[in-house]
Chains A and B, each alone.
Chain A
């Protein structure tokens, strides 16, 4: 039994912390009515679930690559805005999808250029200059090609055409999309050709930049797969272009729940793509200089905020909930779950309290699904094994002949994808605004520090803890705490809510410098 005793002694600070947290939790519950504390508990879990989606990615990325991605909050926000576009403006989504598919069709020919380039060796000074010239020319070409593309979009300056107005129209079921525009000044073939050419040249420039130093990657095989893929994407893009209106029509008349799930999928996928892109282009050159990565992600965050403000406008707006979460008619609020599914109620009565279906049940559900999914990925798959090994010692894993860089890209993409999913998931309950990410990032960082920086279960536990604490303080701000020696109930003011989570972090880190589940280094 010596081992057991030792475990207890080694972890006594941790055990005391757990005991104190449980006692605090039960005292907090005892001060409330049953209906109050169930709702507060569920709200806390819901905030915890959203925080977890952000913190999970941060934790994986930090654990594996020692990169604290401070742009994570902004990527979360971007996910919300992308999801909003799919849900509220399917026509814009289809237009963007069309031209990105055609650009992508040109871009996937990249291996071909590598093959050709390995047969052509220009002088060093030439090799240093021409890719940048091609890149600049390509960007100009793409700029004009995209500007000429008939994009049907909102206008943040014009109130009736602003994103907020479209959100309102969707929530009232009276969405009228503007007339889809067509190519005006140039024939469609030229416009689409320019997009394809832009993608093609972008690939050429990227290969040039990649190969300018030394002959690092010599492609000896002529890649047929790239050509087939490019042709496939091109055909897909043309289909999207010619059948743009029917597809938009179909999306618009789709069940709102299905459209919301589509929005979630698109947000997560675009997060994945963006994450891979950011890792490959910006984070990768900086692995030798850790502090610079933090600074880079900070700058990236500012850029994303400004881009979002330029496209979607400064003021925040809401995202209407799907119909199955917003029924208020007959039989509502539901009293049990079968009734809930039948009447599609917005609220359900649990323990005498009215619980909102979307905010307090669906979000938690998705959070649990993601938690289990990532846990399975980490424990049961080969890549999960590599990630776990990499968290412990990534140099050793590299020495064993595993391509760690590829795993880095995968994990970064996965983390950003999760954050983007969190963004669209949170949007219907907290609304969209350019600042939503910054606030959540602070919460996620606190959750991470509380749970232990590199620990995945720690991220989950920390997120739940932070969410619960925050919601209980908010609730007590409404009903007041009866403290001894005070005549009136003490009411925590709203600024105390973020302050309380920060204090929790500071106190906890003083007792346990590595967090609840962190490992001693």
Chain B
């Protein structure tokens, strides 16, 4: 009697549940989708101005947001290595820069199409992850950080040498990367905005799924206590390798998007300072929280932009000060601190409810990650 109908209901419920569980994410996505139109409206432009890419505040802010998405994806890849798996690496800028340079060279020198370029970037990402993996089983902790710093500085030096000037442009960087017409940052800003937004969303979903998967759980175990994970019979090297490959490909793709958007590849993105930027972003957002990378990227980019605008040369000083104060006083970052506080708020609400109903106080289970 009740054959197919409950099954269908069940499936509908599941979709509904999924939507409900991700309501925050969907809301943010829709707001970001509408963001250029809202800005246009506030500036007295019509909606068609956004679609036709007319110059104005809306277009400028879209550009800024594309940078935020790129920085966010770059930072989330670093968060996977440092925050989730607990590997301290100083070579993240190299992951990003390799993607940017490969894209630039593929478009400018080799004249490849978009899919071939993406394939090339992915291959380059895998190769550099394997390069890091060569030293991974030998060196641990700080020494691994130093070796990766070494790799990254060699790469930085190599792209700046005059011998490779034809390909990398040495000190000046790769000027005038010619992207396919539909990705042109000046003429098709809105398309690029949507693509970056979707890219950031997809990366976030993949990462969240990865961290929630059994593999991701083992990575967290490695962060918390590598010896115990080893004792439990996990080959920690394999898990670290997987993490490195995922992070490297993601960062390289972000680098490729950066090369298309700018469209200049400057050697600065290979320097240690750019790795530090990733560190700063996930520190602002909250280490190991994934969403923190995007929140941090927004705060970081806006902070950098407005500090530069208001203070000029003194901006770096203030950025350093913000950094030190964050480390000392807000160690879990915005998202991490918010989670701790929302937990306390929940606790307080339950306490109140119990008090009113006359029951005994029972604390809610801890669901806060580090």
Residues on A facing B (Cβ under 8 Å) = 62, 68, 282, 285-286, 289, 291-292, 294-296, 298-303, 305-307, 309-310, 442, 445-446, 448-449, 453, 493, 495, 498-499, 502-503, 505-506, 509-510, 513-515
Whether A292 and B331, one on each chain, are in contact in the complex, defined by CB atoms closer than 8 angstroms, is yes
Contact partner of A306 (CB less than 8 A), chosen from B82, B138, B316, is: B316
B320 at the interface (CB under 8 A from A): yes
In angstroms, how far is the closest chain A Cβ from the Cβ of B272?
Answer: 8
Residues of A within 8 A of B153 (CB): 442, 498, 502
Which B residues lie within 8 Å of A509 (CB)? 135, 138-139, 143, 146-147
Are A502 and B150 touching (Cβ within 8 A)? yes
A-B contact pairs, 25 of them (CB 8 A): A62-B142, A291-B88, A295-B279, A299-B323, A302-B316, A302-B320, A302-B323, A306-B316, A306-B320, A307-B317, A310-B317, A442-B153, A446-B150, A448-B146, A453-B142, A453-B143, A495-B157, A495-B158, A502-B153, A503-B150, A503-B154, A505-B146, A509-B146, A510-B139, A513-B143
Q: A302-B316, A498-B157, A499-B157 are in contact. Are A513 and B139 (CB under 8 A)?
A: yes
Majority SS of interface residues in chain A?
helix
Q: In the complex, what's the smallest C-beta–C-beta distance from A77 to chain B, in angstroms?
A: 15
Whether a CB of chain A sits under 8 angstroms from the CB of B160 is yes
Taking a contact as CB atoms under 8 Å apart, the answer to whether B142 and A295 are in contact is no
Q: Which of A306, A446, A514 contacts B317 (CB 8 A)?
A: A306
Q: Would you list which residues of chain B between 265 and 312 have a CB under 8 Å from chain A?
A: 276, 279, 283
Contacting residue for B146 out of A298, A449, A495, CB 8 A:
A449
**Complex-state Cα separation, A282 to B325, whole angstroms:** 10
Q: How far is the CA of A455 from the CA of B163 in the complex (A)?
A: 39
Inter-subunit contact B150/A505 (CB<8 Å)? yes
Instruction: Decide if B42 is an interface residue (CB 8 Å cutoff).
Output: no
The residues of A that contact B145 with a CB separation of less than 8 Å are 68
In angstroms, how far is the closest chain A Cβ from the Cβ of B93?
Answer: 14
Residue of B nearest to A510 (CB): B138
Cα A243 to Cα B180 in complex, Å, equals: 74
**How far apart are the CA atoms of A505 and B148 in the complex, in Å?**
11
Point out which of A285, A296, A303, A442 has the most chain B C-beta atoms below 10 A from its C-beta: A303
User: Taking each of A282, A299, A498, which has the highest tally of chain B beta carbons within 10 Å of its own beta carbon?
Assistant: A299
B263 CB to closest chain A CB (Å) equals 26
Report B130-178 residues with CB < 8 Å from chain A CB: 134-135, 138-140, 142-143, 145-147, 149-151, 153-154, 157-158, 160-163
Q: How far is the CB of B345 from chain A (nearest CB, A)?
A: 21
Specify the chain B residue showing the minimal Cβ separation from A442: B153
Select which of A292, A294, A513 is within 8 A of B138 by beta carbon: A513
A514–B135 Cα distance when bound, in Å, is 13
Minimum CB–CB distance from B193 to chain A (whole Å) comes to 31
- Kindly state whether residue B327 has any CB partner on chain A within 8 Å: yes
Which residues from B are CB-within-8-Å of A301? 320
A295 close to B327 (CB less than 8 A): yes
Nearest CB of B to A120, in Å? 26
11 new A-B contacts, CB < 8 A, other than A295-B283, A509-B147, are: A286-B328, A302-B317, A306-B314, A309-B313, A493-B161, A493-B162, A495-B160, A499-B158, A505-B146, A509-B138, A510-B135
On chain B, the residues within 8 Å of A445 by CB distance are 146, 149
| Residue interface mask B220-240, A partner, CB < 8 A = 1 | 000000000000000000000
**Are A299 and B327 neighbours in the complex by a CB distance under 8 Å?**
yes
Question: B328–A296 contact, CB under 8 A?
Answer: yes
Residues of chain A lying within 8 A (CB to CB) of residue B201? none
Nearest residue, chain B, Cβ from A494: B161
Alpha-carbon distance between A282 and B328 when the two chains are bound, in angstroms:
7
- A294's contact among B88, B143, B320, by CB below 8 Å, is which? B88
- Given B154, B316, B323, B331, which contacts A502 in the complex, CB threshold below 8 Å? B154
A14 to chain B, nearest CB (A): 15
Contact A506:B135 (CB < 8 A) given known A299-B323, A299-B324, A303-B317: yes
Flag whether B319 is at the interface (Cβ < 8 A): yes
Tell me the complex Cα distance, A226–B60, Å. 60
Known: A291-B88, A498-B157. A506 touches B151 (CB 8 A): yes
Q: B321 at interface (Cβ–Cβ under 8 A)?
A: yes
| Chain B residue contacts of A307, Cβ below 8 A | 317
> How far is A305 from B313 in the complex, measured between Cα atoms in Å?
12
Residue in B closest to A448 when the chains form the complex, CB atoms:
B146
Min CB distance A248 to B, Å, is 31
Question: How far is the CB of A473 from the nearest CB of chain B, in Å?
Answer: 13
Alpha-carbon gap, A448 to B147, bound state (A): 12
Are B142 and A310 touching (Cβ within 8 A)?
A: no
B316 touches A305 (CB 8 A): yes
Q: Which 9 A-B pairs have the closest CB atoms?
A: A299-B323, A302-B320, A306-B317, A303-B320, A502-B150, A299-B324, A296-B327, A449-B146, A495-B161
Q: How far, in angstroms, from A449 to B145 measured CA to CA in the complex?
A: 10
* Nearest chain A residue, comparing its CB with the CB of B153: A502
B27-65: which residues lie under 8 A (CB-CB) from chain A? Answer: none
Report the bound CA distance from A514 to B153 in whole Å: 21
Q: In the complex, which residues of chain B have a beta carbon less than 8 angstroms from the beta carbon of A62? A: 142
Rounded to whole angstroms, the CA-CA distance of A292 and B286 in the bound complex is 12
In the bound assembly, the distance between CA atoms of A286 and B157 in angstroms comes to 34
Instruction: Give the complex CA separation of A510 and B143 in angstroms.
Output: 11
- CB of B320 within 8 A of CB of A300, answer yes
Chain B residues contacting A449 (CB-CB under 8 Å) are: 143, 146-147
**A495 surroundings in chain B (CB, below 8 A):** 157-158, 160-161
Min CB–CB distance B196 → chain A (angstroms)? 28
Instruction: Report B-chain residues with C-beta under 8 Å of the C-beta of A303.
Output: 317, 320-321, 324
Bound: A431/B316 CA distance, A: 24
Measured in the bound complex, the distance between the Cα atoms of B279 and A495 in whole Å is: 27
CA distance A424 to B317 in the complex (A): 24
Nearest B-chain residue to A288, judged by Cβ: B331
Chain B 72-94 near chain A by CB (<8 Å), digits 1 or 0: 00000000001000001000000
Beta-carbon nearest neighbor of A515 in chain B: B143
A303 CA / B317 CA spacing, docked (Å): 5
Q: Say how far B362's CB is from chain A's closest CB, in angstroms.
A: 28
Partner of A296, one of B143, B154, B324: B324
